[in-house]
Amino acid sequence: MDPSNPQFDLWLDGAPRPAASGACFERHSPYDGAPSGVFADGGEEDAERAVDIARREFDTGRWPTTPARRRYEILTETARLLTANAQALAERMVLESGKPITLALGEVASSARCLQYYAGLALSTEGSAISERNPSALGLVLREPVGVAALITAWNFPLLGVVCKLAPALAAGCTVVAKPSHLCPGPAMLLARYLTEAGLPDGVFNVVTSQLEQGAVVGQHFASSLKVDKVAFTGSTASGRAVMRAAAVNTKRVALELGGKSANIVFPDAPLEEAARTAIGAFTFNSGQQCSAGSRLLLHRDIHDEFVAMLAEHASAQVLGDPREATTTMGPLISGRQHERVLGYIDLGRAEAKLVTGGGRPADPALERGYFVEPTVFDEVSNSSRLAQEEVFGPVLSVIPFETEEEAVTLANDSAYGLAGGVWTGSMDTALRVVKGVRTGKMFVNCYNTAGIDDMPHGGYKDSGTGREFGQVGLEEFQELKTVQILLR
């Protein structure tokens, strides 16, 4: 077998198994078109089989009643295996998704940390006792696993996007079926192997891969299955709505991590140089393929010209290139389809706003085969335009000037989305007023995804979704509360 083009089966009942149909699909590198893996093309029959296995493992009670200490050990050992195999995992991500190697290694490290965090929380999943006014009465609140959890994930964080759902699900005692995106399924398949190697009982974690069209079929099967108790979804808002509709058949729990169009607001009293450098990172990280990208930059009129000049300078410092190279900061976009889509938004921008820098494919002939897009900044964008309202999911920034704090908050909130946002100012009063005024699930003050604080809840308001991942609340998403009242005799 060619090591750069390995074959991955589905992962069912603790072992690799071909799809029932025997069909496969191939993935190619978005950097140079080289084959990067062959994957089993699972369908409805496989999805049903995965759900049955997870249901069996839950209903027999083997995993839900596994002592917390053992769950802690398995999650900790998986974290260790991820760290020990970081290079292989990162290289897989690079091959399938074009994510630069330094970012991919960072994602493996974050995934290991996430597993370790929930390993710790696994030790505190029992619940609490409440003493009542009546001395012979005792109240208990038990925390029980929600049941069989279906995880449906996107390709932009192909490992962490699965781990941040799986780790709390396993810590809580749930059994799991997962469907990674067809665009980068390899990391989830490697994760399944490491979990089994770490001692996870067979059947507790099952993965069904499938190509594009079948992906929606498998996702819908999971979401609508009466045997599934919870669905945790990451993806576009349109797919999220379809998942929510399907999930209503048995009122299962639904968590949706969807798109965003986050506003990064800069006031004149901000540390401008740092704000400009960070604003570039906020929309070019992972080539802009990031749900919480700061893709709208709201600039106070007084600093507008100076700041826009700084943006152009920092944008030119981005290194587009081979994602296997440590010096590369921006790799290609994930697919030809996504490339066309992003270039389409750039055409739209040229027609309705002022191009500051970038504006298409890079001129470097060495990058011709990859789906590259230059970091692109448009100025004087109207907040009501499509460019400012729709999620581009590429390295395209819309600069929108403002004059007052009130106007900035109104513009930030004038969006169907509500995932994240940033505010840059030397005044904590201004910062806190803006933080409270902007309706999003996350706000950064004088930073943008750069403070280095982990394990805090992540999720959106409005069309950016419902539910939260990471942190204590991420565990509670996979737990039911059972109230017990005992009268002592």
Please say which residue, 10 or 152, places its beta carbon nearer to ligand NAD. 152
**Among 164, 174, 291, 374, which one carries the catalytic annotation?**
291
- How far apart are the C-alpha atoms of 201 and 65, rounded to whole Å? 12
Residue 258 contacts ligand NAD per CB under 6 A: yes
Q: Which string of x and - marks every residue 380-409 that binds ligand NAD (by CB under 6 A)?
A: -----------x-x----------------
**291 in catalytic set:** yes
Determine how β-strand 15-17 pairs with β-strand 10-12: antiparallel
**Among 57, 77, 257, 374, which one carries the catalytic annotation?**
257
- How far apart are the C-alpha atoms of 377 and 349, rounded to whole Å? 9
The distance of closest approach from Cβ of residue 218 to ligand NAD in the complex, given in angstroms and rounded to an integer, is 7
* Helix, strand, coil percent content, the chain, rounded in steps of 5: 40, 20, 40
Helix, strand, or coil (residue 164): helix
Please say which residue, 259 or 349, places its beta carbon nearer to ligand NAD. 259
Pick from 14, 64, 98, 235: which binds ligand NAD (CB under 6 A)? 235
Site for ligand NAD in 123-152 (CB under 6 A): 152
Please say which residue, 125 or 415, places its beta carbon nearer to ligand NAD. 415
- How far apart are the C-alpha atoms of 390 and 429, rounded to whole Å? 31
Pick from 14, 64, 215, 375: which binds ligand NAD (CB under 6 A)? 215
Closest listed residue to residue 376, CA positions, set 395, 392, 354: 395
Site for ligand NAD in 460-479 (CB under 6 A): 460, 465
Residues composing the chain: 489
Residue 155 contacts ligand NAD per CB under 6 A: yes
Helix, strand, or coil (residue 294): coil
Q: Could you write out the DSSP letters of every residue in 15-67? A: EEE--TT--EEEEE-TTT--EEEEEE---HHHHHHHHHHHHHHHHT-TTTTS-
**In this chain, which residue has its C-beta nearest to ligand NAD?**
219
- How far apart are the C-alpha atoms of 412 and 437, rounded to whole Å? 9
Residue 224 contacts ligand NAD per CB under 6 A: no
Residue 370 contacts ligand NAD per CB under 6 A: no
Site for ligand NAD in 13-52 (CB under 6 A): none
Pick from 239, 284, 328, 335: which binds ligand NAD (CB under 6 A)? 239
Count Cβ atoms below 10 Å from residue 296 Cβ, excluding itself: 27
Residue 156 contacts ligand NAD per CB under 6 A: yes
Instruction: Tally helices (H) and strands (E) across the chain.
Output: 15, 23
> Sheet containing 35-40: which strands, arranged edge to edge?
7-8, 35-40, 24-28
Residue 295 contacts ligand NAD per CB under 6 A: no
- Token digits of residue 132: 């009542």
Site for ligand NAD in 419-458 (CB under 6 A): 419
**447 in catalytic set:** no
Pick from 14, 100, 187, 259: which binds ligand NAD (CB under 6 A)? 259
Pick from 29, 97, 153, 329: which binds ligand NAD (CB under 6 A)? 153
- What is the Cα 178 distance to its own chain's centre? 14
Interhelix angle 86-97/186-197, nearest 10 degrees: 160
**Active-site residue list:** 257, 291
Residues that bind ligand NAD (CB under 6 A): 152-157, 161, 179, 181, 215-216, 219-220, 223, 234-236, 239, 242-243, 257-260, 291, 391, 393, 419, 460, 465
